[in-house]
Chains A and B, each alone.
Chain A
Amino acid sequence: MQQKLNIALVITYCIFLAACGAKGDKPGYEYSPQMYHSVPYEGLTQITDEGAGQLISNREDGKGEFYNSNPNNPNKMNMRHPPENTVSRNRYGMLPIQIHKDSFALAERVLKSPLPESEEVLAEGKELYDRFCEHCHGSGGGGDGLVGQVYLGVTPYNSSTVKDKGEGHIYHVITHGKGRMLSHASQEDPMERWKIVRYVQTLQKQ
C-alpha cells in the first residue's frame, strides 16, 4: 500500500513540474519572481492589476509586487506624450520645418538637402529605401512592391506626374504624405529622409 502511495506521489510531482514551463497564454513560473518584474516604471510593460503578486509582496503601499503602472498618467500609462507646443531637439540640431502639408510647390522651392552628393549617402539611402519604402514602391520604384500591388494607387517614380519633382517635394511627401500615402515622419528622422530622397531621385530618372 505504502509503495503504491509513493509511486502516486512521484507521478503527481512530475505532473506539477511539467506544468512549470511556458506554453500558449501561460508564461510559466519563476524561481524568484521579484527579479523578473521591474520595480521602476517600465516603458513597454504595464500591469494595472493592483493585486498582481500580492502573495510575495513587500511593498510599503500594500499593493501587489508586480503592479507596474503610473496612476498620474492618462490611462495609467508608464510613458507620457511630450508636452504640447514643444519640439524635440534631434542630434543634428535640426528644427522641424514649418510648411503646411499641402504646400508642395513651396516645399519644392524652399527645401534643400543638407547632404553632400556622394556614393556613401546614396548607398545609405538605398538601404533605408529597402526598409521603409520598397514594400509599396517596389525595388525599382515602379509602385509594384508586394504591398503596393494590393494597396493600389502607388505612383511609379518615373511617371510623367512625378518624375520631374525636386528633392524638396520628395522630402515634403515623406514628411507629410500625399494622396494615399501617409506621413512617415515618425519612422525616419530628417537626415534619414534626406538620404531616402537622394536614392528616390535616381529612381525618378529611370
Chain B
Amino acid sequence: MFATLRSAGSIFLPILAFFFLSLTSIRAQSDSTSTEVASDTSTVETATSEGGISDEAVIAEGESLFNANCRVCHAVDQKLVGPALGGIYDRRDMDWIKLFIKNSQAVIASGDAYAVALYEEYNQTVMPSFNFSDSEIESIVAYIRVEADKEPEVAAADGGQPLNPQAAQEPSTFLTVIVVGLVIVLILILVVLFLIINFLTKFLRKREDLDDSDKELIDQRFKLGELVKKPAFVGIVAFVFGVFALKTVIDGLYQVGIQQGYAPTQPIAFSHKLHAGQYEIDCNYCHTGVRKSKSANIPSANICMNCHGQIKTESPEIQKIYAAIENDRPIEWVRVHNLPDLAYFNHAQHVAVGGQECQTCHGEIQEMEVVAQYSPLTMGWCINCHQETNVNTKGNAYYDNLVELHAQHSKAPLKVEDIGGLECAKCHY
C-alpha cells in the first residue's frame, strides 16, 4: 500500500512543479514586455525633443489645424482617402502646396501634371478648398515634418506591441491550462483509488480467518443479466420510453406550421452581427419602411452602395451586389418571416406608434451572423403580448379619451387588449 502511495506521489510532484514553473514563466514574460515598451517610449520622447526643427507654438498650431481639417482624409504615414502626407515637402515645393490646399480644383484644371495624376489615382475624389493663410499652411507642413520624422521610432514601438495582445489573451490560456491540469489530477486520483481497492481485496483474500459472509462480500460481482430480467426494471424502462415517445409526438405536432428557428442561407452572406452589432447602424437606416408602412422592407442595392460604393469593394460578397446592379437583376433574398395572408400585421403600428423595439419580436438580431426566425409567430404568441403590453399612450392625443374612459372602471394601466387588441377582426378580415 505504501508502495503505491509513494508511486502516486512520484507522479504528482512533477505535475505540481510543472504548474508552478509555467505560472512563474508567464508572469516573467508579461513583465519583460512592459519594460520593453516603456524603454521604447522613452527613446521616442528624446528623439522629438532633440529634433527641435522649428518653434513649438507653430507645430502646436499645425497639429490642431491638421486634426480639425486634414485628419479625416489624410494620415502622415499611410494612404487613407487621400495620399500619405509624410515627405510632401520633398515631393512638391511650398508654393504648389499652398495653391493646392487653397483650391485643388483650380490646380487640376490648370493642367498641372502632378495634380492631374493625383486626381486620377484617387478616383477623382475632390479635395475641398481650405481658406487658410500662408502661415497656417506652413505650420501644418511643419507639423507633418515633425510627425514624419517621428514615424520610424513609432514603428519600432509598434513592433514591440504585438506582445501586448498576447498578454491580453493570457487569462484564457491560463484557464485552459488549469482545467486540463485538474482533469489530469482527477484521473490520477481515480487510478490511485482503483489501485488501492485492488490492493486491499488481494490483501483480504490472502487472509484465511474470514467467515463465509465476508468472503461473499469480497467476491461480490455486479450481475447485469439478472437485473434486466426483473419485471420492475422492464416496467420502468417501458414507462420512460413511453413518456419520451409521447413527448416527441406532441413536440413534433406543435412544430408543424411553425417556422421558429428557420435560418436560410442567403444569396449574399450579409451579417447583421457586423452591421447592427459591431457598427451599431440603426435598423431603420436600411429597413426604411419599418416606421412608415406595413412591412419593414428589404433594402435595395442603392442603400448598400451608400457605404460599399467606397469600402470593402474587393470582397467577393460585395462583388455580388455590383453584379446585380450591373446586370439590373434583383438580389433574390430568401424570405425568413412569413405571416400567412389570413393574418394582418403592421410594422408601423407596432414600431412607430407602439414604440416596440425590433428585438422584442426578432430577438437579438445584432448578434446574428445569419438571421433566424426568433419568435413562433403563432396566434397564441400575439395574444399573449397583447394581454401583457401597456399601450404607449404618452404624448399621443389619440388615446386621451380612451385612457380617461378606461380609468373610470379600472386602476390597471391601459393594455392592448383593452383597446380591442383581442378583437378577431383587428387582424383577420
Contact = CB atoms under 8 A, between A and B. Distances in A.
B253 A130 contact: no
Nearest to B131: A160
Interface residues of B, dominant DSSP: loop
A164 to B, nearest CB: 10
Contacts, number: 151
B284 A132 contact: yes
A185 to B, nearest CB: 10
A20 B260 CA distance: 11
B257 interface: yes
Contacts of A134: 282
B72 A143 contact: yes
A108 B297 CA distance: 33
Interface string B351-389: 000000000000000000000010000000000000000
B252 A25 contact: no
Given A135-B285, A153-B81, A156-B72, A21 B255 contact: yes
Given A28-B262, A146-B280, A161-B129, A17 B285 contact: no
B255 A28 contact: yes
A110 to B, nearest CB: 21
A155 B248 contact: no
Nearest to B129: A161
Contacts of B281: 135, 147
Given A18-B248, A152-B81, A131 B284 contact: yes
Interface range on chain B (Cβ under 8 Å from partner): 35 or more
Interface stretch (B152-160, B190-198, B304-312): B304-312
Interface string A114-125: 000000000000
Given A132-B285, A146-B279, A186-B302, A23 B81 contact: no
Contacts of B129: 161
B263 A14 contact: no
Nearest to B259: A22
18 contacts: A13-B249, A18-B248, A21-B261, A22-B255, A22-B262, A26-B262, A27-B338, A28-B255, A31-B257, A40-B341, A43-B295, A44-B335, A135-B280, A146-B280, A152-B72, A153-B72, A180-B81, A182-B309
A152 B251 CA distance: 52
A45 interface: yes
A5 interface: no
A20 B255 contact: yes
A96 interface: no
A24 B129 CA distance: 53
Given A18-B252, A181-B306, 12 more contacts: A14-B245, A22-B261, A28-B257, A31-B257, A132-B285, A151-B307, A156-B68, A156-B72, A160-B68, A180-B310, A187-B288, A187-B303
A17 B253 CA distance: 7
A135 B279 contact: yes
Nearest to A17: B252
Given A43-B295, A130-B282, A161-B69, A14 B309 contact: no
A55 interface: no
Contacts of A45: 335, 338
A35 interface: yes
A93 B297 CA distance: 24
Contacts of B282: 130-132, 134-135
A46 B332 CA distance: 8
Nearest to A76: B330
A132 to B, nearest CB: 6
Contacts of A30: 256-257
B10 interface: no
Interface string B270-297: 0000000011111011001000000101
Chain A interface main SS type: loop
B258 interface: yes
Interface of B: 68-69, 72-73, 80-81, 125-126, 128-131, 245, 248-249, 251-253, 255-265, 278-282, 284-285, 288, 295, 297-298, 300, 302-303, 305-307, 309-311, 328-330, 332, 335, 338, 340-342, 373
What are the 9 closest A-B residue pairs judged by CB atoms, nearest first?
A17-B252, A21-B255, A153-B81, A22-B262, A14-B248, A22-B259, A131-B282, A30-B257, A131-B284
A157 to B, nearest CB: 12
B298 A44 contact: yes
Nearest to A188: B288
A21 B248 CA distance: 12
Nearest to A39: B341
Contacts of B335: 44-45
A56 to B, nearest CB: 15
Contacts of A35: 340-342
Contacts of A29: 256-257
B264 A25 contact: yes
A184 interface: yes
A36 B73 CA distance: 51
Given A21-B255, A44-B298, A152-B81, A77 B68 contact: no
Nearest to B65: A160
Nearest to B260: A22
A99 interface: no
Interface in A27-62: 27-31, 35-36, 38-40, 43-46
Contacts of B249: 13-14, 17
Contacts of A77: 330
Contacts of A18: 248, 251-252
